[in-house]
Amino acid sequence: MAEPLLVVDRVTRRFGGLLAVNGASLTAAEGRITALIGPNGAGKTTLFSIISGFLKASDGTVRYGGEDITGELPHRLARRGIARTFQIVQPFAGLSVRENILVGAHLHHRAHDAALAAAEEVGREMGLSDLLDRPADTLTVAGRKRLELARALAIEPKLLLLDEVLAGLNPSEIRDIVPVIRGLCGRGITIMIIEHVMQAVMSLAEHVFVLAEGRIIADGTPAQVAVDPRVIEAYLGHGAAAKLGASHGY
């Protein structure tokens, strides 16, 4: 069996005395949606930043498509096909929606007109057609999340790292965007999501890794991790699993 598209092998990251990520290993299988969940401060975003080159790992390796990419610069990783979105959306605030997407589209389309056409196509797919001329900083939260997604897609990625794209959206907006993410996977893009909205994780991901205090404490299908005592304890505190189990017993 071939190696998964992304293999994170015992990655550690220290910030001074703080161990943000502690020997975490995970994989993302090609063409699938993998989720990374865990309580606040578990180190999920740190791990994403290491994979996408924004932070250096203190130890461990990251392999992508069979090659060691540990410590490679973000723009080189983007050129290899790794795209990421930011938890705190980072639009080019002074530019229009179209110009925002255009920056990404230029990666594989040197000519202005070709890039513009590609950008508009991606904008349409993400449901931003009516907003292309709007300044990015006038979009609603949902609009900004879609823009973040559109820009990442414009670089035509093979691996898409989505950092809480659903956070801050209302239930109907979440219902709108979940099929969009599933559609991307259907096109063959490998997706890894960090997400707190459990209902979405359950419906999207085929495999879930649970990170707590920098360590991967469990992994499996969404149904498996949801009942894993270690996961319940990580979220609800020590002893919570036993109490829950007891209450179910009666």
Partner 1 sequence: MRGLGPIAIAVAVLAAVPLVVHSNATLNFLIVTLMIALAGQGWNILGGYGGQYSFGHAAFFGTGAYVTAVLQVRYGVNAWLGFGAGIAAGAALGSVIGALTFRSGLRGSYFALVTLAFAEVLRIIASVAPITGAGVGTLIKLDLGAQAFQFQSRAVFYWAVLALVAGSLVATRLIERSRFGAWLIAVRENEDAAKALGVDARSVKTAAMVISGAITAAAGCFYAQYFLFVDSGIAYGTWISIEALLTPIIGGVGTVFGPLLGALVVKSLGEGAKLVTGDVPGLDLIVYGAVLVLVIWFTPRGLIGGFMQARKWLTRRATPTASSIPEAGRG
Q: Binding residues for partner 1, per CB under 8 A?
A: 52, 54, 73-75, 78-79, 83-84, 86, 90-95, 99, 102-104, 106-107, 110-112, 115, 130-131, 134, 140, 142-143, 151-152, 154-155, 172-173, 176
Q: How far is the CB of 162 from partner 1 (least distance, A)?
A: 12
For the chain, the 3-state helix, strand and coil shares in percent, each to the nearest 5, are 40, 25, 35
Complex with partner 1: residue 48 or 225, whichever CB lies closer: 48
Q: How far is the CB of 139 from partner 1 (least distance, A)?
A: 9
Edge-to-edge strands, sheet with 207-212 = 82-84, 159-163, 190-194, 33-37, 207-212, 215-220
d(CA 115, CA 67): 29
**Tokens found for residue 126:** 């993400």
Complex with partner 1: residue 94 or 245, whichever CB lies closer: 94
* Alpha-helix runs per DSSP H in 88-228: 97-105, 112-125, 141-154, 171-186, 198-204, 222-226
Q: How far is the CB of 214 from partner 1 (least distance, A)?
A: 23
Complex with partner 1: residue 109 or 207, whichever CB lies closer: 109
**Tokens found for residue 243:** 């109490």
Q: How far is the CB of 62 from partner 1 (least distance, A)?
A: 16
Q: How far is the CB of 79 from partner 1 (least distance, A)?
A: 5
d(CA 184, CA 138): 26
Complex with partner 1: residue 178 or 226, whichever CB lies closer: 178
Which residues pair with residue 6 across a beta bridge? Answer: 28, 64
Complex with partner 1: residue 94 or 237, whichever CB lies closer: 94
Q: How far is the CB of 109 from partner 1 (least distance, A)?
A: 8
Instruction: Could you list the beta-strand ranges (E) of 38-95.
Output: 59-64, 67-68, 82-84
Complex with partner 1: residue 119 or 217, whichever CB lies closer: 119
**Tokens found for residue 189:** 């893009």
